[in-house]
Structure 1
Amino acid sequence: MKTPYVVAALSSALIAAPAHAETAKPSLPEPTGEQTVGTTSLHLVDIERRDPWNQEAAARELMVSLWYPASRSGGKRASYLTKEESAAVLKDFDVPPETLTATRAHARVSPPPSRARLPLVLMSPGFTMPKATLTSLAEDLASRGYLVAAVEHTYESVATTFPDGRTTTCLACVRGQDGAKVAQGRVADLRFVLDQLMRRDLVDRSRIAVVGHSMGGNSAAHTMLADLRVKAAANLDGTFAPIVPNLGKPFLMVGTTKHVPDGKDSTWRQSWANMTGWKRWITVTGADHSSFVDYAVLRPQLGLPAPELVGARALKITRAYLAAFLDTHLRGRDEPLLDGPSTAYPEVRFWK
C-alpha cells in the first residue's frame, strides 16, 4: 500500500516558514510527574538482519534513547539534537541550522534509576522525524514512573548521528514509499530493541506497551499483533498501512479531525472495526498532525506557523490521555478520563 503522507511528514510538521523566523532558545514543557528524569542512549546492532534501506550495511544499526525515573537530581541536561540532525530538520526553513541543538529538555544524563522492574513503553517517531521529537511525551511518562525507549529508525529519519560521529541520511525518503514495507521494518526494529531491553533488570517483562506517532503509531499496532509480549499500544495520528486485522488487545487512537469516522483517512474506520478488545478513538479539535509531539511547542518558538490549538495545550492533552491509557492497562488503575467527554478537555471528542 502506497502512503504518500509518509514522505510529506516533515513538511506537514513544520509547514512553511516566514521570511525571517524568531530564533530564541526553544524549550520543552516541564514533566508533570513527581519523579526526577534521567536519560541515556544505546547503540544497538542487529547482526542477524541486513539493513532494509542500505544494502551496503552488514547489519541493522539503531540508536535508542532511554528515559527513566532517576534516584537523584542534578547533573548535565541531555542535549536534544546534534548539529547535523538539527541542520537536516531545519534545512528548508529560514532558521539557523543549529537552532534545535539548544532546545531545553529536562532529563539529566545517566543518573542511576530510582528502582528496577519498571513498566516499559517503546516509542516510534513519525517518518522522517528524529526520535527526539518524542521527548516531551517520554520525559513526562518517565516522571510518572515509566521506562521509555524511543527508537531511531535509521535511514528513515532525516538524520541519525552515531557515537563514532557518523550521521546517516534518509535513504527511505522517496516519493510513493510503501507504508507497509516501512511498518514491516519498524516492527523488526522494535522487536529487536525489546529483545535487548528484556535482558535488563530495569524492565518489568509483564508490563510492556508500544506508542507511536504517525508511521510510528501504525507500527505500534503491527508490533503488538506480532509480539505477544506487548500488552497495549497507541497510535498518535498515524494512517494504518496495512489495515489492522483482528486486534484483541487494548488500543488507543488519538488524532486530528482528519481521523473521524467519515473523514479523509478511511484506514481508521476499517481498522477500528477489526479491534475486538478494549479500545478508544478520540480526536482533538484544532490540532494538526504534529500537535502530538514536540513540534507542537517548537514551531511557535521558532517563528513558524502553528495550528489553531496552542502547542502547550495540545501536548497537555496528549500527555493526559496517554498516561491514563498506560496507567489503566499497565498498572491496573481506574482512569475515568477514558470513559467519555471531560469538561477539563473540551477539545477532545470520543467516537464509537
Structure 2
Amino acid sequence: MQNLEWLLLLISIIYIGFNRPINLQLKKNYVIGLLVGVLLIHFLFNGYRWQMIPAYFLWVIALITAIKQSDRKPSMALKVLKIIGLTIVIILAVALPSLLPVFDLPEPRGEFTVGTKDILLELDRDELITADKNDKRSFMIKVWYPSKSMDGEKDLYVDQAGRNGFAVKYGLTPSMLNYLDKVDTHVFRDIEIADGTFPVLIFSHGYNSKANSYYALLSELASRGYVIFALNHTYESTGATFPNGDLKYFDYEFASQIESNTWHIMEPVVEAFKSDLSYEERHPIIKTGLTTYFVRGMVERWAEDIVDVVDELNQWNQEGFFQGKLDTSKVGVFGHSRGGGAAGESLLIDDRIKAGANVDGVQWGRIVDTAFDKPFLFISADWPEEKDDLNSHAYINKSTAVFYDTRILETGHSSFMDIPFMIPLEALSQAGSIDPTLGMEITSNMVASFFDKHLKSEPIDMKNLDKKYDMLRMNIYSGDSIP
C-alpha cells in the first residue's frame, strides 16, 4: 500500500474504534474536515483504485459516525455483529491493496537511461495459427534501447491488449488492471537513442505471456548498452496492440487443438523418471518426448520469428530510428520459459546469432541430437529434486564452445518476470522465497555478464558471479570438458 492509502485507512479505523473519546477532544467540524481532507489528498496524489474500495467503505462509516455522533449505546448483540463486520472489512481493506499493490520496479543501474519503441513486423510467410489461408504472419516488437535523455513520456506498464489478455487468463475484468497506470516503469517512450553502436539482443517471452511482463530484466540490460528487440508472438502471447488499433489475443482454440491427444507422448517420459532406470536407460525415452511432443513445433515457430527479426537488422541499421546504431556483427538471443527454448533453437539454425541464453525453459527439439557450437547460458529456477529434469537430457552434449549451467536458489519459474513485484505473495506469484529484487539482480547480472563476455568481448570471469552470490550455483563446461 502507498503511504497515503495507509493514512486514509488508519485514520478511518482509529476514528471508528475510538470516536467517543475523540469527540470529547475535537469538534465535529474538525473531525469531518480531517476525514474529507485525507480522502481528497489521497485522490490528488495517489488517485482512485478499486483495491481500495473496502478502505473507502470504512471511510464512509467513519464519516457517518462523525456526522451523527450518537451517544446511544448499541445492544451487545448488535455490537458483536458490528465488530465482526468491521473486522472482515478491515481485513479486506488491508489485503486487497497489499496483494495487488502499485508496485515498485527496480530502477535500471546501468550508465544509460532507457527508451522504448514499438515496431510492427509484417512478413510474407503464411500465418499458420488462424483459419484464414490469406493471413500473413505479423507481430509486434517492443524495443528497449540505451539513451542519455529523460525528455519524454513515461512508458505505461503493459499495453491495453496485454492487460485484456491478462484479465482473461486470470478471470479478472480489464478495468481491475487500470491501477497499472500508476506503476513507474523507469522507461521513456520514443526518446533519442544514445550515441554509438550497440550489440543487439533478441528476446522471446514465455507462453501466454508477453515482453511487457519483463520490464525489470529488459530495462536493466538496455541500461547497460544493449538494444533489445523483444518479440510478441502473435496469438501465443497474452495480447498485442497493433498500430491500426487491432487487438490480437492468445488463441485458446488453437492452443487446445495442437495439444489435444498429445499427452500420451509424455506419459512414458513421466514413468521413466519415476522408475529406477539409469540415466543411460532413460535417455532414449526422454529423447523421444523432447523431439515429438507438440511443444517442439511451437519452439520452432517462435525460432522462425526470431530469425525473421535477425533478417531485418541490417535494414533497420541503414535507415530510420536505429540507423547506424546497431552492431549487427554482435547479435545474441535469449528468452524465458518456452521463449528460452525458442532462443536455443534459433542459435542452432542461424549462424548470425553469436550467443544464446535460456532462462528456465525446456529445450525441446533437435538439441538432444546435437550440441551448440556457440556460447550458451542456461539459468534454472530452484526446482525440487523430484521434478522431471528434461534438460539434463536435452543438453547432454552441451556446447563445443562453452556452456554455463546455473541455478538460482529459492527462485520459482516466475522469478525472472515482473510477477513477484506485481504480486508480492509467494503462494500466488509462484516466484519462490527469494527476495524479488535480489533474484532479479542475480538474473540480470548473469545475463548481462554472459553477453558482455561473449558479444562485447569484455574480460569477464563468470566464476566471480558464483563467488559473489550465495544463492547462485554455476557449472562451466568448455568444449573440451563436456562429460
TM-score range, shorter chain: 0.7 to 0.9
Structure 2 CA distance for partners of 1:216 and 1:122, relative to 1, 3 Å: same
Residue number in structure 1 paired with 2:277: none
1:72-111 alignment, distance < 5 Å: 72-91=149-168, 92=170, 96-111=176-191
**SS of corresponding position for 1:21:** helix
CA distance in 2, matches of 1:293, 1:72: 26
Confirm whether residue 38 of structure 1 aligns to residue 115 of structure 2: yes
CA distance in 2, matches of 1:101, 1:127: 24
C-alpha distance after superposition, 1:102-156 (max 9, x if no partner): 4321111111211242100000000100111222221111111111110000000
Residue number in structure 2 paired with 1:240: 363
Deviation (angstroms), 1:58: 2.1
1:246-325 alignment, distance < 5 Å: 246-258=371-383, 264-300=388-424, 304-305=428-429, 306-325=431-450
Confirm whether residue 146 of structure 1 aligns to residue 271 of structure 2: no
Residue number in structure 2 paired with 1:346: 470
1:102-141 alignment, distance < 5 Å: 102-141=182-221
Whether the aligned pair in 2 keeps the contact of 1:83 and 1:101 (CA below 8 Å) is no
C-alpha distance after superposition, 1:148-174 (max 9, x if no partner): 110000000121111222111212432
Deviation (angstroms), 1:176: 6.3
Confirm whether residue 52 of structure 1 aligns to residue 128 of structure 2: yes
Residue number in structure 1 paired with 2:337: 214
C-alpha distance after superposition, 1:78-104 (max 9, x if no partner): 122123421321342568233434432
Deviation (angstroms), 1:267: 2.5
Q: Which of 270-279 and 214-223 deviates more?
A: 270-279
CA distance in 2, matches of 1:302, 1:340: 29
Deviation (angstroms), 1:51: 1.0
Deviation (angstroms), 1:273: 2.3
Q: Supply the AA of the counterpart residue of 1:125.
A: H
Whether the aligned pair in 2 keeps the contact of 1:340 and 1:350 (CA below 8 Å) is no
Deviation (angstroms), 1:74: 2.4
Residue number in structure 2 paired with 1:198: 314
C-alpha distance after superposition, 1:272-296 (max 9, x if no partner): 4242221100111110011112123
Whether the aligned pair in 1 keeps the contact of 2:146 and 2:226 (CA below 8 Å) is yes
**SS of corresponding position for 1:97:** helix
Residue number in structure 2 paired with 1:9: none
Whether the aligned pair in 1 keeps the contact of 2:101 and 2:422 (CA below 8 Å) is no
**SS of corresponding position for 1:300:** coil
Identity between Structure 1 and Structure 2 (%):
26
2:256 is aligned, of 160, 171, 174, to 174
Q: Supply the AA of the counterpart residue of 1:344.
A: K
Whether the aligned pair in 1 keeps the contact of 2:161 and 2:249 (CA below 8 Å) is no
Whether the aligned pair in 2 keeps the contact of 1:31 and 1:140 (CA below 8 Å) is yes
Residue number in structure 2 paired with 1:163: 243
**SS of corresponding position for 1:63:** strand
Deviation (angstroms), 1:331: 0.9
Deviation (angstroms), 1:229: 0.5
C-alpha distance after superposition, 1:20-69 (max 9, x if no partner): 632432332100101111111101100x2111211325211110011111
What is the TM-score when the length of structure 1 is the normalising length?
0.87
Residue number in structure 1 paired with 2:96: 21
CA distance in 1, matches of 2:119, 2:359: 25
CA distance in 2, matches of 1:344, 1:180: 36
Q: Which has the larger radius of gyration?
A: 2
Structure 2 CA distance for partners of 1:350 and 1:263, relative to 1, 3 Å: farther
**SS of corresponding position for 1:138:** helix
Whether the aligned pair in 2 keeps the contact of 1:237 and 1:255 (CA below 8 Å) is yes
**How many positions carry a matched residue from both structures?**
332
**SS of corresponding position for 1:280:** strand
**SS of corresponding position for 1:198:** helix
Structure 2 CA distance for partners of 1:71 and 1:194, relative to 1, 3 Å: same
In structure 2, the gaps of 5 or more residues are 1-90, 260-293, 318-323, 477-483
CA distance in 2, matches of 1:84, 1:123: 19
Deviation (angstroms), 1:218: 0.5
Q: Which has the higher contact order (CA 8 A, sep 6+)?
A: 1
Deviation (angstroms), 1:340: 6.1
CA distance in 2, matches of 1:112, 1:249: 33
CA distance in 1, matches of 2:412, 2:104: 20
